[in-house]
Amino acid sequence: MEFYSTLHTPLVLVLCISGTIGHILSIGVLLKMLNPTNILLISMSINQLLLCVNFLYSTLFKAGSEKMCLPFLWSFGWTFSLLISVNLSVFVHMLSTFHLVALSIIRHLSLQSLSNIHSSLAWFTYRKAVITLIIIYTSVLIVCTPLYFQSRVVLGECPDSCVPPFAINLPHRTTAYRLRFSENALLQSINFWLFGSICKLIPCSILCLMTYFILKSLKKIRRMSAKFGNIQRDRQYHRTTKVILMVMLMFMIVETPQGILAVAQSIFRIPHLDIIGDVVEVITLLNSCLIFALFCSMNSRIRSAFREHSAKICLWASAPNDGRESEEKKALSTETPDCDKVTEMRAENISNDKNVKPVHL
């Protein structure tokens, strides 16, 4: 237990930073490829980005408040920001769930439209995409209402975890603002059932059903393509549909145990809940990073953008300060170089005082 507690914070930081960078790249590329489905994917990626950034903030806050014992973090303002972070975490998490359910239903209906040989117009339009997003955000805002009253800021004492050497100069029994969960048993039960059922178990059940319908529609489209030779219509949705199916499968694997755990917690006491919560947090962040990886597998432009930005970072880190800008422009006109080769080229350039020629891999 102690080993994992030590490992948890750096692991969360790595996943948060990786997920943040990945989703920023995917949002930037998807914005250049606008279509109704990608609008939903962009919104979903923004939610995942907010999830990573929010986890990063709350992790750093807890480390500073409970481990490093920084007194300014115990003020009302900073503690209230943690309350906002807690509510935002639930809101964004549920938004991602509703996005995925909406994507699964839309993909099923789109495949049904595609399987109709008389269909020549796209079923899912920009107008329907905007309406879908309005419904998603409004629904989540209403559904999450009881969760907003789950925690509040109260005046208490400094955290018990504050021990020397960090707390050695603190006065005894220093007062501090802290978050306290509601002691209302009815509200606790409603929130646990709400978070476990509406945010976890019911969406997982819908996704299972949609997975069956999507696979059935794909099978029908393949039969039509083989019969009529209409291969282009099959390829139009094939790769994106596979990615959506993989995201749905990951969601069901990750969220179903959490839903069962949330419902069980409202019935009986579960031991080691703090450790379980930390593990769930890491799994959620890992799932967010895997979603970016699946977006990369869906589109070559996202992969190219990721390689391009990685190459720019390598060039920036290895080039002399006075030559970084010109060398970055030169590298962008060539294929993506390897970081080690770039470093060797820079070393040779410094020693020989010659221009570096682009290397084609």
pLDDT value of residue 186: 81
**Helices and strands per DSSP (H, E), number in the chain:** 11, 2
**Is-contact 113 123, C-beta < 8 A?**
yes
Identity (one letter) of the amino acid at 208? C
Whether the per-residue pLDDT at 262 is higher than 60: the answer is: yes
Fold that domain 2-298 belongs to in CATH? Rhopdopsin 7-helix transmembrane proteins (1.20.1070)
Domain boundaries, the chain: 2-298, 309-352
DSSP label of 264 = H
| Banded pLDDT at 279 (limits 50, 70, 90) | confident
Residue 97 is encoded by which pair of tokens? 């769930």
| pLDDT score of 360 | 37
Highest mean pLDDT among 113-127, 138-152, 312-326: 138-152
Q: Lowest-confidence range among 46-60, 103-117, 135-149?
A: 103-117
Report residue 11: phi and psi, to 5°. -65, -45
Going by pLDDT thresholds of 50, 70 and 90, the confidence category of residue 296 is low
Higher pLDDT, residue 242 or 172: 242
* Closest listed residue to residue 221, CA positions, set 209, 212, 210, 231: 231
* Three-state DSSP class for residue 171: coil
**Highest mean pLDDT pick, 101-115, 287-301, 322-336:** 101-115
Q: Look over the chain and give the mean of its residue pLDDT values, rounded to a whole number.
A: 74
How much is the pLDDT for 346? Answer: 43
Say yes or no to pLDDT of 72 above 90: no
pLDDT over threshold 60, residue 98: yes
In the chain, % helix, strand, coil (3-state, to 5) comes to 75, 5, 20
Provide the whole-model pTM: 0.73
Residue whose C-alpha is closest to residue 251's, from 102, 38, 28: 102
Q: Helices 36-62 and 76-114 meet at what angle, rounded to 10?
A: 150
Say which residue, 191 or 4, is predicted with more confidence. Answer: 191
The mean per-residue pLDDT over the stretch 250-265 comes to 76
Residue 357 pLDDT class (50, 70, 90 cuts): very low
Q: Confidence band (pLDDT; 50, 70, 90) for 336?
A: very low
pLDDT tens figures, 4-60: 667 778 888 888 888 888 888 888 888 888 888 889 989 988 998 998 899 899 888
Give the range with max mean pLDDT: 52-56, 228-232, 339-343.
52-56
